[in-house]
Each structure stands twice: as structure tokens, then as C-alpha cells.
Amino acid sequence: MSMKPPTEFTLRRAIAAIAAIGIGVATYITIADSSGGAPACLAGGGGCQTVASSSYSHIVGVNVAVFGILGYVLLLGTAFVQGDAGRFSGFIFALFGFSFSVYLTYLELFRIHAICQWCVGSAVVMTTLFALNATRLVAYGGTEDDAPGSGRAPIPTQPEDA
Amino acid sequence: MSNKREQERERLRAHRLEREQAETQANARRRRLVQLGSGAVFLAVVVVAVLIVVSGNQNSGGSGEVVDVGLVDKMVGGIPQSGTTLGNPKAKVTVYEYGDLQCPVCKAYSEQVLPQIIEGQIREGKAKIEFRNFTIIGPQSKPAGAAALAAGKQGRGWNYIDIFYRNQGAEASGYATEAFLTTIAKAAGIKNLAQWNTDRKSKALTDKVSATTAEAENLGFTGTPSFAVTGPKSHGLNTLGTPGSAEAIEAAIKKAS
């Protein structure tokens, strides 16, 4: 049983929309951090404060959310690049972002012992982007550039005796 | 007529072959891309595994890498704090811990014995626990103790004490520097660091550290941590010394209730 993947155009639109959400989340975390505080946890609790104040929240003095913004911007860009260049670069950026999210979630659970909803949110966004970009690469890699609304062009099957 | 039909058939055939060839090439390109992608996934798995192993091996003791902040937050969160007292202020039974923040046995108690009491009788409001400094390890113990008292003034005393214990360096190795005390203060969630800095150096708090140390000696305690319990049925202060288990402290709380 095989499921028909969405058209590449649909995938690209979804990637662009979700990357934009990612930029929003990462920007919020960055602004909250740079104003000296921490992102507000929606359900209360000090998870966000704890995670933001931990030494893992910065890499060489730069908040990890800044790297998040950069990653999401790159992913947004790949959604507008047609063909294998867009497919493969999107997959690689998403793979990098997803791996980084896995590592950060590990740190939250086993090193910082606190969970920040905004970080979880970003991890979910990045995981979705990875799934979408993997689908785009596997289903459409190698094919010609897509046009809006088109799927993969089928091989003509006209009978030889028309 | 037949010739025309033949030509049309030939044209369709050529078209089909061309498309099939294009499709074969596309499949080959896709296979290659997927292979490259799989290689990248493998590499990513290796890198993440290495990062996790490396971060798991990082030494926390006094290295500036604060651990267990969330764990402590969770343990004491929601329990009232006043000064270095944790628990319902109206609780009739009070447990006193005479400890030294640099003492490794106190660290072991903080990690293995006290959580059971805090999550049980303290959280339930049956007793409260007060930390008192009994500074015996080294010269850095006194400023560390005053730093905990100053944290207590901002309602973060137990966060400070427990996070300090869980991030101790080697005993009296000189790790408890001003920078270390400040790192713990930040991790403990102290909002007003300037006030904390003033408080911890104040005569009132440093004198208090000396006073509780003298008090512990007068009670006959010789090591840290030492515990004492007072309650309606304890007939004054019941000194426990260094009980070996959480159960012993729980029993003393029950007896004093």
C-alpha cells in the first residue's frame, strides 16, 4: 500500500509557512532573552526560566535561538528554490536543524531537568520541516522542476493501436 | 493512409521512449540524491550521539556548568520558603539541618535523604525544615553560608542550598569563589543580584553564620550534617546527630508531632 504524496508545490508552500512559524518562535525566544528575561511559559512553572538561565542556552555567547532563526530563514529560502538544488539543500538544512533539536531536547530532559514550551514548540516545528523536506526529496528528487499544481509527469500510456 | 498511421504510431513510440528514458534518468538522479541524503542522516546520528556522550561526561563540580537546577525547582517548588526555612510556617514540628555547603556528606543527604522528607512531610505541611550554617570545612564555607542566607531573604534559600550541594567541587579545593557563588545565585533564580551581593556581605548575615556554628557546637554536634527536631511532644530540642536514613528523620518528626 502506498500513499500518494502531496504535489511538490503543496509541499513547498507548507515548508514556507511552517518555516515562517519557526522564525516567529525563535525570534520570540531571542527577544525575551536579550531583554534580560526568559520566555514566558504559558502554563506557568519555571521551565522556561530554568532553561534560559542554564549554561546550555548560549553557544559562544550567542543564544541558541539565534541559530534557530538562521536555520528557519535558510529553510524558508529553500522552499523558493526549484529542482534538486532546493530539494537537497532543504533536506540538509532540515536534517541539521532536526539533529540540533534532538540534542537540545536531550539537554532539557537529562541535563537541565526542565522543559521550556517554546523550545518544545521549536523542536516540533523543526521535526515537521524535516518530515516535509524528506518527503520532497524522496518523492520528487531527480524529477523536473515543478509547476504550480502539478505532480510528477506520468509516462504516456496511449495504446500503440489508437 | 496506412503510411500516415504508421508514422503517427512511430512518433508516439519515439515520444514514449524519450519519456521512459527521461524517467530512468530521473530515477537514477533520485537514487543518488537519496543515497547522499542517507549518508547525511547517518552522519547526523553519529554527531548527535557524540555530542550527547561528550555532554554526559562533562564534570559539573565547580566548573561553572550548573546542573540539577530543574530538579531542585521541582522538589521545592510550591512549598513556602522564608529565610532558610522550607515548609508551612504554621507547621508545629521543625527540623533543623546544621550543615556546611562545602560538605560532601551534606551533598549526599541533600540528594538521597532529604528529598523523601521534603516531598513527604514538608510538602504535606506536617513539618518545616530550617537550614542553619555549621561551617567546619574551610574558609570559603562562611561566605558560602552567608550567600545562602542572602538568597533566603529573596525567598530562594532552599534553591540556593540544594543547587550549591548538587554542584559542589572537590572538598575545600577553593572552588567556592565569588564567581561560583554568583553562578549558583543566578541558577537559583535570585532576581535582585545587587541586593543579594549587599546582603551576603552584611555583618548581620556573616554574624549569623558564626552564631549558628557556635550553637551547633554547643549542642554537641561534631560533624555535618547534624539534625535536630522540635515539636509539641519533643520536650525541647531533640538532637538526632547524623541519622543514617530518611526514615529515622521521619520517625523523629512523627514522635515530636
Domain residue limits, chain A: 17-140
Residue B105 and residue B214 in one domain:
yes
Is A152's pLDDT higher than 80? Answer: no
Per-residue pLDDT at B142: 93
Q: Residue A156 and residue B15: Cβ atoms within 8 Å? A: yes
Here the cell at position A72 is: 528557519
Residue B178 and residue B242 in one domain:
yes
Calculate the average pLDDT of chain B.
Answer: 89
What CATH number does residue B123 fall under? 3.40.30.10
Q: Residue B25 and residue A134: Cβ atoms within 8 Å? A: no
B64 falls within a domain: no
C-alpha–C-alpha distance, residues B41 and B47, integer Å: 10
Per-residue pLDDT at A131: 97
Average pLDDT over residues A136-152: 71
| pLDDT tens digit sequence for B181-196 | 988 998 898 888 889 9
B245 falls within a domain: yes
B188 SS3 class = coil
Residue B158 and residue B204 in one domain:
yes
Question: Total domain count for chain B?
Answer: 2
Per-residue pLDDT at B69: 86
Residue B15 and residue B120 in one domain:
no
Please tell me if residue B21 touches chain A, with a CB cutoff of 8 Å: no
Residue B128 and residue B214 in one domain:
yes
| pLDDT tens digit sequence for A20-64 | 999 999 999 888 877 766 677 766 556 777 777 666 777 877 889
B129 falls within a domain: yes
Q: Let me know: does B29 contact A83? Beta carbons within 8 Å.
A: no
Residue B80 and residue B199 in one domain:
yes
Question: pLDDT grade, residue B30 (50/70/90)?
Answer: confident
B63 falls within a domain: no
Q: Count other C-beta atoms under 10 Å from residue B150's C-beta.
A: 24
B62 falls within a domain: no
Backbone CA torsion sign across A4, A8, A10, A13: positive
Average pLDDT over residues B158-177: 88
Considering the domain A17-140, what is its CATH architecture? Up-down Bundle (1.20)
Is B136's pLDDT higher than 70? Answer: yes
Domain that holds residue B245: 69-256
Q: Which residue out of A33, A48, A53 would a mutagenesis test of the B interface target, given it has the greatest number of B Cβ atoms within 10 Å?
A: A53
C-alpha–C-alpha distance, residues B37 and A138, integer Å: 9
Residue B44 and residue B78 in one domain:
no
B65 Rama sector, left if φ>0, alpha if ψ -120 to 50, beta otherwise: beta
Residue B246 and residue B146 in one domain:
yes
Nearest CB among A49, A51, A153 relative to B189 is that of A49
Residue B9 and residue B130 in one domain:
no
With contacts defined as CB-CB under 8 Å, which chain B residues touch A45? 77
Residue with cell 537514477: B28
| pLDDT tens digit sequence for B192-234 | 888 999 999 999 999 999 999 999 999 998 889 999 999 999 8
What ipTM score was computed for the predicted complex, to two decimals? 0.78
Which is nearest to B46 in space by CA: A131, A7, A33, A99?
Answer: A99
Residue A129 distance to chain B (closest CA, Å): 15
Q: Residue B186 and residue A53: Cβ atoms within 8 Å? A: yes
Nearest CB among B19, B45, B71 relative to A156 is that of B19
Q: Residue B73 and residue A143: Cβ atoms within 8 Å? A: no
Average pLDDT over residues B118-144: 92
Residue B153 distance to chain A (closest CA, Å): 20
Residue A131 distance to chain B (closest CA, Å): 13
More confident residue, B27 or A20: A20
Q: Which residue out of A8, A93, A101, A102 would a mutagenesis test of the B interface target, given it has the greatest number of B Cβ atoms within 10 Å?
A: A102
Helices A83-106 and B2-57: crossing angle in degrees, nearest 10, is 20
C-alpha–C-alpha distance, residues B244 and B240, integer Å: 10
Nearest CB among B16, B26, B189 relative to A46 is that of B189
With contacts defined as CB-CB under 8 Å, which chain B residues touch A41? none
With contacts defined as CB-CB under 8 Å, which chain A residues touch B48? 99, 102-103
Residue B52 and residue B73 in one domain:
no
With contacts defined as CB-CB under 8 Å, which chain B residues touch A96? 44
Is B62's pLDDT higher than 70? Answer: no
Residues of A with CB under 8 A from a CB of B: 45-47, 49-51, 53-55, 84, 87-88, 91-92, 95-96, 98-99, 102-103, 106-107, 110-114, 134, 137-138, 140-144, 153, 155-156, 158, 160-162
Which is nearest to A45 in space by CA: A115, A113, A118?
Answer: A115
Final residue of a structural domain among B10, B37, B57:
B57
Which is nearest to B146 in space by CA: B123, B174, B178, B170?
Answer: B178
- pTM value surpassing 0.80: no
Q: Which amino acid is at B26?
A: A
Is B71's pLDDT higher than 90? Answer: no
